[in-house]
Structure 1
């Protein structure tokens, strides 16, 4: 007797090997035949420029510390069966040029580079508890891209940072407001603590401009505060179905207007049911800067993926398998694939 199971296979593509010198595989599942079962061991033995594929697992891979250029590629962050879970990631000196995709980092990522600036970081299709680019005690980061991620909080000292196509709650800008781009994101408005989605701690020196973002709060029953010193909104949209948003500081905004999503119900991220695409007739279509749409999907080649699947790496799902097989008979398997 075979028990019918639904499980997912993680398939890698040769195209990604161009990133680095070697491709290293890690899988902590029982009986797996990857090169490593422990992620930190794989990192310690990797060379600068290597790519590490981290298979989906029901178990967390624990905490990781990185002090070299690596690309970490996971399966995804919000699949109903398995994901690539990590506890935390600490980036130290010499981690410049590192990339991260398809990971669920439960305790977030923290830059703790004490000597040299970390340059050229890419975070794509990941889910973090928080993403911190250090504090005044560290050297900071430069040239940072955060794209297609789900993250409640982004903070720290970073220059030339682009935050785009993400599901967010708050962004804290400590310094260098003039070199930070916040565009085409979806903000679940915070329901506790500070009421503001974007906070500029350098407001005495100047303002940061946020463009093409949607601010959404399903639980409001009265006026929702969004304005804060040093933040200007342009071509943004706010909406709460049960209350009102205060008028955003800035220009060409849509204040308290229903964006007409395909499906967003609650004030929290739910990958299985949320659909942030805009319905036909949405006021956000073509209402952004230069006629682009407001919200997650700006018409570019990049598409936000609810589950954090890495573009170019297909997911293969066995949806049916013969339950009983006589000796010598064939096992019939039905496979469904997605090219992502």
Structure 2
């Protein structure tokens, strides 16, 4: 199996290299196995510290945390996905690529993290993409624990399985702007500290699910300003939404949060919307046949995480080739192996 891991990440490396030949591919492996080769590290911070701007770091799946990261250079960090045991046929190795707290600090503009299971994620730099991750408890946009609120812009948070997302502007002078929050599943909500709303600008919140699939949700809410809010589903009847200076349309709520103007609908129970049942934790949010959320969004789009131009991808599979099946047989002194791969755009 050790050799399979090596082959897996070598395949990914060779796929990635032609895209940007100056990039160095680095591997993290903390399984305790002896791994041959260069650019292999046991912690994410060590891989980062050895990296140059633009490098790619693959977190090999072990189910053991690679620790915290303070990122100060633009990097791409790629993991294995999550809920893989409940979403069969996507990855051969169903273990997760886990980290502790990840902070994108000054100098990390242009970074991207995908396919990882993280602790708290702090976005304290501009031009950062957080895509197809499972994060708990919180994502903070415009925050670095060592300095507090910071100005950031051009942030993308999409196709993630999250608990809660905070916009964290300090004031109008320390602003958070041009943020796309789309196609996420959030048990908690999307919120802003009281008094900081003036620091928000050009926020898009679209095709998210807020709250649990059964209508539960701890602190499920949308509390922002200067935002376009559309095609979302709020599953909890007691969740809060204060309009402020927002344009909101084509949203569904289990209660009366969005009202009925501008294509918004209310009092629709989540059981009428989603497949639920014994599906995977994220697959449960797929729309059931005949769901009122099918085709009723802006321009006829589906509502929720699986709708729109960039639907949620089950298990947070990163958009790189993956191995989903491996078969081998021995004939005399010959080992015959078949590796099945797929792309994940």
Classify the TM-score, shorter chain: 0.7 to 0.9
The question of whether the paired residues in 2 share the 8 Å contact of 1:226 and 1:248 is answered with no
RMSD: 3.3
| Partner residue in 1 for 2:36 | 33
Is 2:105 the counterpart of 1:97? no
Greater percentage in strand: 1
Structure 1 residue 13: deviation in Å? 5.2
Separation of aligned partners in 1, 2:324 and 2:295? 36
Structure 2 segments unaligned to the other structure (5+ residues): 2-6, 86-93, 170-175
Say which structure is richer in helix: 2
Contact 2:223 2:241 in 1 (8 A): no
- Residue 160 of structure 2, aligned match among 126, 149, 158: 149
Deviation at 1:264, TM superposition (A): 1.7
Shift of the alpha carbon at 1:37?
2.5
DSSP 3-state at the match of 1:16:
helix
**TM-score, scaled to structure 2:** 0.77
Give 2:177's match in structure 1, choosing from 159, 179, 185: 159
The 8 Å contact of residues 77 and 104 in structure 1, kept in 2 or not, is answered as: yes
Number of matched pairs: 307
Matching of residues 244-323 of structure 1 within 5 Å: 245-249=255-259, 251-258=262-269, 260-261=272-273, 263-265=275-277, 270-271=281-282, 274-300=283-309, 302-318=310-326
Matched position secondary structure for 1:119 = coil
- Alignment match, 1:198: 222
Aligned pairs for 1:44-123 (under 5 A) are 44-80=49-85, 81-105=94-118, 107-111=119-123, 118-123=125-130
What is the CA–CA distance in structure 2 between the aligned matches of 1:86 and 1:16, rounded to whole Å?
22
Cα distance in structure 2, aligned partners of 1:46 and 1:288: 43
TM-score, scaled to structure 1: 0.78
Query: Which structure ranks higher in relative contact order (CA pairs < 8 Å, sequence separation ≥ 6)?
Result: 1
- Which one is further off, 61-70 or 305-314? 305-314
- Does the CA-based 8 Å contact 1:109-1:132 persist in structure 2? yes
| Distance change in 2, residues 1:78/1:32 (3 Å) | farther
Identify if the C-alpha distance between structure 1 residues 215 and 50 changes in structure 2 by more than 3 Å, giving closer, same or farther: same
- Secondary structure of 2:127's counterpart equals strand
* CA drift at 1:178: 3.5
